[in-house]
Each structure stands twice: as structure tokens, then as C-alpha cells.
Structure 1
Amino acid sequence: MSLSLRTIKLIFATVLAVYLATALGLSYATSAGIIAILSILDTRKSSFKMARNRFYSTLLALTVATATFSLLSFEIWTLSIYLAIYAPLAYRFRWEAGIAPATVLVTHLMLETNLSPAFLGNELALFLIGAGSALISNIYMPSQDQQIQAYHVQVEDLLKQILLRFEAFLLQGDGRNEAELINQLDQTLEEALKVVYLDRHNQVFHRTNYQVHYFEMRATQSKILRTMAKTINKCFLESRENIILASLFERTAQQLSRENSAQDLLLDIELFHAMFRERPLPQTREEFETRATLFQLLHDMEHFIQLKVDFYQVYKENEEPSA
């Protein structure tokens, strides 16, 4: 949430809360505005969760305060006993976020020396109006769809560049910049995941894990590519296997889009395994080491492709639009 949007929401929620509390004739109406300010968070989900926990915490605080003040007196030292009972319970139930606003409401009871149902209702109403105003202000959240779609394009373009660079290395020995591209890919994926995590937390009533799982799948693929980048540097000899594996890199690069199942690539992997087995045995140690390296690359590519196939199988009927 941008600073300007957060500021607008704070102003709206605070003014609305104070206005409603005043219109209803509640005592300490400005406290509703304070509660509204404390309840503005970055996502709808976190706001709802916080409001729920603070509501429970407020009920607990008013209950403990009523018992404490009625049995003892409306003194400062009694407030310490209230806190000694209430605070540990709030932490025990993980409602500690409500300690501050709830205790503000409890101080009203002490100042007014009033435990009547009507005044307790006044304090509860202050909380409900403040938290409710914050929730209303958080109904609007800017859409992240356009930014997420842009990340899809960036990630798939970088994956394509990396795979084509691997192909070039096997065919021409030119793979000097693959680590730079992978670093760029990792940074893009980190940024994308921050956005999709935020977007998911803003979908309170209709949530989908599609985007999160998509970029997490790509992040796992990036780790495989980083391993492959280290392995591929060991391929110094030109061979028929180099050409075969290079063609797999090229075909995979052309089938990276998320609407592509990549199932055909697994069939290609099986064919390549068969072709490798039919090739003449290595004659020198260098040829043997190169063949072993190429087999490792083929195995890593199989894992890379299988991740995409598994993702597609899970989400092939997902409502998310293709990009």
C-alpha cells in the first residue's frame, strides 16, 4: 500500500469513526478514531484477522475489568491488577494486539467509575465503530493484476534467454553470462512473490493459490538452472550428445508459457535417453566425463520440465486467464 493511499485511508477511517460515534452520542467518541487508526493494515485479510482478535481481546478486557473494579475499587493500583490478569491471558490466546486499545477503553470505566451495562455497551460500540471504519476503508485495494502479468512475461523471457544461452554454450562454447541472467531471474521472482503474496492476502472471500504456486514453481526451476549453469561449464568437448541436448534446451525455451503443458518435452527426454544409450561408448577419460556431465544435465532438465508438467496438471482447469 502506497504512503498516499494509506494516508487517505487513515483520514477517512478516523473521521468516519469519530463522526459515527459522535452521531450516536457515545462518550469518548474520539477513541473510536484512535482504534480506527490502529486497525488500518496493508491487506484486507490482515485487517479482518486483526479486527477479530482485537474484538475478542476487548471482550476479555471488559470482562476482567468489570470483575476487578467491582470487587476492588476504581483506583490506579486496581488497574495494575487488571493488567496482571488480562495481559497474560491476551498473550495466551494470541490477542495481544488488542491490549493497547482495549486498555484505553478500560480506563474510561475507571475514570467514570461506571460499570453499568449501558456504559459497557458504550465502550464496545466505540471499538466496533473504530474497527468497522477501518475495515470499510480497506474495502478498496488497488489491483495487482497488471503488475503480476508483467512479471509473468519477464520471468518467462528470462527463462528463455537462459536456456538459449545454455544451448549456445553446448554448440559454440559461449555461455559466459548465464549466472548474471539467473541472478536477474531470482531477483525478479523475489519481487513477483512479494506482490502475489500481498495480492492473495487481499482476496478475503475469493482466494486462489494459482499465482503463488506459479512463481514458486518458477523459483524452484531457477534453482535447478543455477545448478545446471555450474555443471554445463564442465562440458569442454564437442560431441553428438552436445547437439542432442542443445536441441532440448531450444525446444524447452520455446514452450515455457504457462498455458503450455510441456508434456511433449517429457517424451523428448525419453527419446534422448534412448539415443544416449545407443551412442558408442566413450573412448577417453575426457569423453567419459563429458558424457557423465551431459547425463546429469539431462536428468536436471527432466526435473525442470516435470515441475512445469505437474503445475499444469494441477491448474489446467484453473479459472486464471492465460497470458
Structure 2
Amino acid sequence: MFKIGYRTIKSAVGAGVAIAIAQSLHLDFYAGAGIITILCIKQTRKSSYETAWERFLTSVIGLIISWLIFENFGYHPWTITLLLLITFPVMVGLKAKEGIPAASVIISHLYTLQHIDWHVIVNELGIIVIGILVAFIANSYMPSSEKKLLEYQRKIEQNFKRIFREMAIYLRYGESNWDGKELMETAEWIKEAKEVALHNIENHSAEEEKAMYRYFQMREKQFEIMERIMPTVSMLNHTCDQSQQIAGFLEELADAIHPGNTADIYLERLEQMKREFREQPLPVDRIEFETRACLYFFVGEMKRYLIIKKALSKKKATPDSSDKSTTKKMDPSPN
């Protein structure tokens, strides 16, 4: 079953309103106002405003150049070709490519009329202004994606917990029947969440929206670290004491992915583990040497993992994934 999106509804209603206004003012080609409104409505408020300005600029440029070309060379198909060869490069040079369709609408009106005077100019400017103003009003409100972002946050955190716990299981028992689907899911969800968060910033620009985008950036960096340590974890022998120690650390870390900030606690735990590794006897063979190298690599990467979260906690907190209220804001997770 198909669904009608919010942008589709705004475009349809906006086009109808623009046409109704232009028609009530007895403007010629009043349907053009609806077309311009549709062209100016975009996914985000920021892109809509930028596009509206480009369409106004290019429409005026197209109107001026059309006046010069048609009045000097007449209304012929080949003059349309000449007009477009001049107009389009000018618009591209002004970095206003988005306005080319709107300018083409104006040019088609002038060619159809076969004459240009002040009445025609005022008529076309009226169509442009009405179309853009209606689009501005339609884009003045954009629905927040906070609920969707909080759902992404919840799912990503759940997968982080699962990944850490599966690592711990492998370290404890030396085997696991985990299929690793959470890895692909998490990578895809982080990518999607960043796109939604970026759109939210362009629509609202509030500090909470920016904080959510920074949150998913943080998770992306942490996830890269998790992917890096997995081969190292797989190289550790589950029978050694260090593997059991790391397994316990990962289990506690998984349980700590919840609202609040406890990164300092786990950073201290890592330093303690590092000191204990140093106090152990030097490796006597290649296997022990490789194991010790893996242990130090793990500690270093997990330290980076926690420092990334700690750095985010110094900035304004993001919404709690377990808090369904839109007014309560806090740090999404500690680790």
C-alpha cells in the first residue's frame, strides 16, 4: 500500500493555493505559480529557502534576457535555442542551476504571448512572487524527526550491547554461533541516522538537533573501533586468564550502555588492566608475545572508544533514548 509523504501533501496543497491566488488576481498563465511552488518545496527548510532564492534570481534573469533576445531577433524557434544557449550558462555560472526549470517556465510564457510589455513583465513577476511566497509559507513548518532519531539511538545501542556480549562469549568459551548480522545493521542504521539528523539540523538548527548529529558521529567512530578489535579478540586464547578478564570487562561495558556518563570509571579499569599486564612475566615464546601484543592493542583501542564518548559528554547532552518526553534532554549513553 502506497503512502503519501509530508512533502507531497505540502506540494499539492501549496500548488493549489498558489494557483488560486494567481487566478484571483487575474494573472495570465496562473498555473505557473503552482509549478514554481512545487519546484521550491524541498526536503529541508534550508534547501527550500536556498532553492527559492535561486528560482527568483534565475526567473528575473530569464525574463531580462528573453526581453532582449525576443525583441531584437523575433519570436522564432531558433531564437529559443539562442536564448537557452545564453541563459543556461549564465545561471550555471551564478551557481543557480536549481532555478533553470522556473526560468524555462517564464521563457515559455513569453514565447507563447509573442510580445513583451510592462503588463507582461508585471504578470510574470507576480507569478514568480506568488509561487515562491506560498512555498515559503508551506516550508515554514517542518516536522521534527526526534522520535525517529531516538529509535535509531535505541536500536544502535542495543546492537552495541549485543556485539560486546558476543565478544565476551567468544573469549569465555572459545566459540560462538553468532551470525554477526548486528554489524551490518549497525553500519546501516548509523548512516541513516546521520542523514536524518542532518536534515533535522537544516530544518530546526536547535542545539538539541546538533547534539543528536554529534551523537551519531560519535557512535560511528566507536563502531569503527569495535570492528578493529574484533580480529584481535578472535586471536586471544579463551583459556588464558587475560581473556576471561577482558570478557568480564566487555560484559560490564555492555551493561553500561545507558543514559549517564561513566566513561571515567572504565578508563580507570583499563589503566588497571594495563598495569596488571605490565607486572606479568615477559613472554617466553611467540604465542605469548602475540597474546601480549593483542592485549595492549585491545586496551589502547578501548581507551580510544571511551575517550570519544567522554569528549561528547563535555558538550550539550542529547535526548535520552529511554525518555519519551520531548522536553527532557540528557546524555544518551555513557560508553
Same fold (TM over 0.5): yes
Match of 1:321?
A: 329
1:83-98 matches, cutoff 5 A? 83-98=84-99
Q: Does 1:171 align with 2:172?
A: yes
What are the superposed Cα offsets for residues 225-277 of structure 1, whole Å, 9 maximum, x if unpaired?
Answer: 12211221111252232233233323322333353151232222222221111
Q: Does 1:290 align with 2:298?
A: no
RMSD between aligned residues: 2.6
Q: Does 1:131 align with 2:132?
A: yes
Q: Distance in 2 between matches of 1:122 and 1:45?
A: 28
SS in 1 for 2:276: helix
Match of 2:151?
A: 150
Tell which deviates more after alignment, 167-176 or 297-306.
Answer: 167-176
Q: Distance in 2 between matches of 1:316 and 1:193?
A: 17
How far did 1:278 drift?
Answer: 0.8
Sequence identity percentage: 27
What are the superposed Cα offsets for residues 157-193 of structure 1, whole Å, 9 maximum, x if unpaired?
Answer: 2112211222232233244427333223223323323
How far did 1:282 drift?
Answer: 2.6
Tell which deviates more after alignment, 17-26 or 60-69.
Answer: 60-69
The alpha-carbon distance between structure 1 residues 203 and 279, as it changes in their structure 2 partners (threshold 3 A), is same
TM-score, normalised to structure 1's length?
0.89
How far did 1:196 drift?
Answer: 1.9
What are the superposed Cα offsets for residues 86-122 of structure 1, whole Å, 9 maximum, x if unpaired?
Answer: 1111111221222222122123233334433342122
Q: Unpaired runs of 5+ in structure 2?
A: 320-326
Tell which deviates more after alignment, 180-189 or 149-158.
Answer: 180-189
Tell which deviates more after alignment, 29-38 or 312-321.
Answer: 312-321
Match of 2:193?
A: 192
The alpha-carbon distance between structure 1 residues 136 and 313, as it changes in their structure 2 partners (threshold 3 A), is same
Is the 1:182–1:225 Cα contact (8 Å) retained in structure 2? Answer: no
Match of 2:223?
A: 222
The alpha-carbon distance between structure 1 residues 204 and 292, as it changes in their structure 2 partners (threshold 3 A), is closer
Q: Distance in 2 between matches of 1:294 and 1:176?
A: 24
How far did 1:217 drift?
Answer: 1.6
Is the 2:159–2:182 Cα contact (8 Å) retained in structure 1? Answer: yes
Q: Flag as ranges the 4+ runs of structure 1 deviating above 6 A.
A: 317-320
1:1-323 matches, cutoff 5 A? 3-177=4-178, 179-203=180-204, 208-257=209-258, 259-260=260-261, 262-316=263-317, 321-322=329-330
Is the 2:174–2:238 Cα contact (8 Å) retained in structure 1? Answer: no
Q: Unpaired runs of 5+ in structure 1?
A: none
Q: Distance in 2 between matches of 1:263 and 1:58?
A: 58
How far did 1:317 drift?
Answer: 9.2
Q: Distance in 2 between matches of 1:4 and 1:212?
A: 23
